[in-house]
Chains A and B, each alone.
Chain A
C-alpha cells in the first residue's frame, strides 16, 4: 500500500513511511491530547513539503476559534471562498466550518453526502490531496441510530477512495472498552490506519504519547512514543523504531585528567557515551568541566548543559579547582546553557537540548545531570530521553558525558538507572568514603567498553591545582583515602623507622655487650697476668729464700768442726 509522508517529525519513522495514501486514517485520543494539532500539522506539512494541499473540516470548533488556536503555530489558513477566488496565500489550509450551531435542532436522520459534495468542491478549487475531518464524532453523535452512524462512516470511506485523497478523521477515544458495534470501535475497523494519542497531566506539565495502533499493509512500530507539542507543532520521539548505526569509535579524547586517561587506556573513546554517577557533591560537574576544558584546549567545540543550576555557579565552582571555562566561552568554543525542568515535560527538555546541539554542533557534550529529566517525567521517559540524546550525540560523532545522581544502591529509579547505565559505554562511579570522620571522594571505573580497566577505587583529589587521581592505598582489604590514607602512610613510615631503630638498637646492644665482654676479657687477662706475675714472683722469692737458707746452712756448717756437721751425722753412711 502506498504511503504518503506526513512531514511530522518522528511520525513517518513510526508508521514506516507515513499514512496510507488515498485511504482513511483515524487519529484518536482524549480531549486535549492534541488530535486537532496533529491533524492540522499533517495538512500544513503536506502543503509545505509534498505539494499536497489540504482541506480541514471542523465539526468541533468554529472557524474563528481554529484561526485563533493555530495563530501561534504560524500556520496559514483560508476560507473556502478565499481559496476559490484565489486570494488565499500559497500553502494555506482551507478550513470548512462544519460545526453545528448550538441552537441547531435535530429531527430525524441526516447524512454527510451534502458535506462531502461541498468538500469535493473545495478540493477541486485547491487541488487538495489531504483532508481532515476533525471531531467527526461530534456530528455523528447527533444520529440516534448507531446503524446510521456506521452508514455515514462507510459513506465517508467510500468517498475518500473515490476522491483519491488521503483523509484523516479525528475522534475521541471511547471512555471504556466497548463492543465493535460502538462508533469508535467500528471506526478502528473501518480505517486503514489508527494513530492513538494519550496524555497525562504531570506535576510539571503534560506528558504525551503517540502509538500507531494499526497501519494496514505495512510493518510499523507498535510501541508508545513520547510526543510533544512545540511552537511549530508535534515532535514525536521515534526511539526504538529507528536503530542508528554509527562507527565504533577508536580515537581517544582526553577526560581532562591524565591519570584517568591512563586508567581508561588513553582517555574516552571519541563519539562514545560516558555516565558519571554519584551523590551530590562528589564532583561530577568538576569532571565534566575538566573534560570540556580539555576539549576546548584542543580547539574543538564543547557544550555544557546544566539543569536547574546556573552555569555561572558551575563556572565559579570549577574555577576553585583551577578549571577556567570562561576563556573558552569567550573564544566561542564553549556554549553553555542552564535549563530549567519546572513545568516542562521530558520530551520538551529533549528538544531543548537538541536545539542547543544543532545550534552549536559540539564535539563534546555534557548534560549535568541527566537525571533532572526524571523530575519532568512520571514514567520511564527519562531513560528514553537519555537514550535518544546519546544516540543523537553518537550519530554526530560527538562524545557525550552525562551525570546522574544515581548511586549503585538500588533505588526507586532502578529501571531508569540500569537503562542509562546500560547504554553508556563508560560508567564512572563517584563516591564518598567516610573514614575517620572525614569524607573523601573515590572514583571507580565500573564499566569501560573497549578496554581493560581496573575496578579499583581511586581517590579523586580536588585542589587549587586542579583534579588529581591518587593511587589506590589498599590495606587489609580496605581502601584508604584522604587523611586516613595520609595517616596510614605516616604510620607505616614510623613503623619503618622503628624497625630500623630497633635493628640499630639491637646492633648497638650487641656491640656494647661485645665491647663489655672484650673489656672483661682484657681485665681477666690482666688479672691473669698479674696472677702469673705474682706466681712467678712468689716462686722466685721462694727460690731466693731457699737459696738464702741453703747459703746460711752452708756457712753454719762451714763454721762447725768436722764431724759436727749435722748432715754428716744424720746421714747414714
Chain B
C-alpha cells in the first residue's frame, strides 16, 4: 500500500479577526492526527500575495496538493464538511 499523498495546505487569513482566529484553531484541531504541511498567509501583511493568488475572502483554505486544488472559505466551523472536502478519513 502506497503512503498517503503529501498534504499541502495554505490558509489565507486576515490578522486577528474573529473568523480568521477561529479558522486557524479549527484547522489545527482537524489536522492534528494527519501528516501535513500548512502555510499560513496573513493577507493584511501580504495583500499582494492574496491578489496574485486570487484570494478575496478570508479565511480561505486551499489544498494545494494532492491535486485537484480545493478551496474552502469560512471559519471551517463544520468539521465534517472540511474533512470531506479535503478527503480526510472520518474522525475516529
**Docked pose: A100 CA to B74 CA in angstroms:** 12
Cβ A110 vs Cβ B85 within 8 A: no
Q: Mark A90-129, 1 if CB is under 8 A from B, else 0.
A: 0000001111110111111111111101101110000000
Task: Considering the complex, give the chain B residue whose CB is closest to the CB of A59.
Answer: B56
Task: Considering the complex, give the chain B residue whose CB is closest to the CB of A99.
Answer: B56
Known: A106-B74, A110-B73, A113-B17. A100 touches B57 (CB 8 A): yes
**Which of B44, B73, B78, B81 is in CB contact (< 8 Å) with A104?**
B73
Binds A, one of B1-9, B31-39, B45-53: B45-53
A142 near B: Cβ within 8 Å?
Answer: yes
Chain A facing B: main interface SS: mixed
**Docked pose: A451 CA to B43 CA in angstroms:** 75
Cβ B19 vs Cβ A111 within 8 A: yes
Known: A113-B58, A114-B12, A114-B14. A107 touches B52 (CB 8 A): no
Distance in angstroms from B80 CB to nearest chain A CB is: 9
Please indicate the chain A residues that have their CB under 8 angstroms from the CB of B81 in the complex.
Answer: 105, 107
A81 near B: Cβ within 8 Å?
Answer: yes
Cβ B72 vs Cβ A114 within 8 A: no
**Docked pose: A37 CA to B13 CA in angstroms:** 32
Please indicate the chain B residues that have their CB under 8 angstroms from the CB of A81 in the complex.
Answer: 51-52
**Docked pose: A59 CA to B78 CA in angstroms:** 24
Distance in angstroms from B7 CB to nearest chain A CB is: 16
Distance in angstroms from A135 CB to nearest chain B CB is: 12
Known: A113-B14, A113-B17, A114-B14. A108 touches B57 (CB 8 A): no
Q: Which of A57, A103, A110, A114 has the most CB of B within 10 A?
A: A114
Please indicate the chain B residues that have their CB under 8 angstroms from the CB of A120 in the complex.
Answer: 47
Q: Mark B39-76, 1 if CB is under 8 A from A, else 0.
A: 00001100110111011111110000000001111111
Cβ B82 vs Cβ A110 within 8 A: no
**Docked pose: A242 CA to B36 CA in angstroms:** 66
A279 near B: Cβ within 8 Å?
Answer: no
Cβ B57 vs Cβ A112 within 8 A: yes
Please indicate the chain A residues that have their CB under 8 angstroms from the CB of B76 in the complex.
Answer: 107-108
**Docked pose: A39 CA to B52 CA in angstroms:** 24
Cβ B14 vs Cβ A80 within 8 A: no
Known: A113-B15, A114-B12, A114-B44. A107 touches B50 (CB 8 A): no
**Docked pose: A84 CA to B47 CA in angstroms:** 12
Known: A114-B12, A117-B14, A121-B51. A109 touches B77 (CB 8 A): yes
Task: Considering the complex, give the chain B residue whose CB is closest to the CB of A98.
Answer: B56
Task: Considering the complex, give the chain A residue whose CB is closest to the CB of B58.
Answer: A114
Please indicate the chain B residues that have their CB under 8 angstroms from the CB of A113 in the complex.
Answer: 14-15, 17, 20, 43-44, 58
Cβ B77 vs Cβ A121 within 8 A: no
Taking CB atoms and an 8 Å cut-off, the chain A residues in 132-183 that contact chain B are 139, 142
Please indicate the chain A residues that have their CB under 8 angstroms from the CB of B47 in the complex.
Answer: 114, 117-118, 120-121
Known: A113-B17, A114-B14. A107 touches B56 (CB 8 A): no
Cβ A110 vs Cβ B58 within 8 A: yes
Distance in angstroms from B85 CB to nearest chain A CB is: 5
**Which of A59, A103, A105, A122 is in CB contact (< 8 Å) with B51?**
A122
Taking CB atoms and an 8 Å cut-off, the chain A residues in 431-462 that contact chain B are none
Please indicate the chain B residues that have their CB under 8 angstroms from the CB of A106 in the complex.
Answer: 72-74
Cβ B71 vs Cβ A103 within 8 A: yes
Cβ B54 vs Cβ A97 within 8 A: yes
Distance in angstroms from B30 CB to nearest chain A CB is: 11
Please indicate the chain B residues that have their CB under 8 angstroms from the CB of A104 in the complex.
Answer: 71-73
**Docked pose: A104 CA to B14 CA in angstroms:** 19
Task: Considering the complex, give the chain B residue whose CB is closest to the CB of A148.
Answer: B19
Known: A114-B43, A118-B43, A139-B57. A108 touches B74 (CB 8 A): yes
**Docked pose: A122 CA to B48 CA in angstroms:** 8
**Which of B18, B19, B20, B56 is in CB contact (< 8 Å) with A115?**
B56
**Which of A59, A97, A108, A112 is in CB contact (< 8 Å) with B23?**
A108
Task: Considering the complex, give the chain A residue whose CB is closest to the CB of B79.
Answer: A107
**Which of A59, A121, A139 is in CB contact (< 8 Å) with B48?**
A121
Task: Considering the complex, give the chain B residue whose CB is closest to the CB of A97.
Answer: B54
**Which of A105, A109, A122, A139 is in CB contact (< 8 Å) with B72?**
A105
**Which of B43, B52, B55, B77 is in CB contact (< 8 Å) with A108?**
B77
Q: Which of A57, A104, A111 has the most CB of B within 10 A?
A: A111
Distance in angstroms from A125 CB to nearest chain B CB is: 8
Task: Considering the complex, give the chain B residue whose CB is closest to the CB of A113.
Answer: B14
**Docked pose: A81 CA to B17 CA in angstroms:** 26
**Docked pose: A273 CA to B78 CA in angstroms:** 71
Cβ B57 vs Cβ A115 within 8 A: yes
Distance in angstroms from B69 CB to nearest chain A CB is: 9
**Docked pose: A71 CA to B55 CA in angstroms:** 25
Task: Considering the complex, give the chain A residue whose CB is closest to the CB of B84.
Answer: A105
**Which of B48, B54, B75 is in CB contact (< 8 Å) with A107?**
B75
Cβ A111 vs Cβ B78 within 8 A: no
**Docked pose: A122 CA to B50 CA in angstroms:** 11
Identify 13 residue pairs between A and B in the complex whose beta-carbon atoms are under 8 Å apart, listed by A's number.
A80-B51, A99-B56, A104-B73, A105-B70, A106-B72, A107-B81, A108-B19, A108-B75, A109-B19, A110-B57, A110-B58, A111-B57, A113-B14
Interface residues of A (CB under 8 A from B): 57, 59, 80-81, 84, 96-101, 103-115, 117-118, 120-122, 139, 142
Given A110-B73, A115-B58, 8 other A-B contacts at CB below 8 A? A80-B51, A104-B72, A106-B73, A107-B73, A107-B82, A113-B44, A114-B44, A118-B50
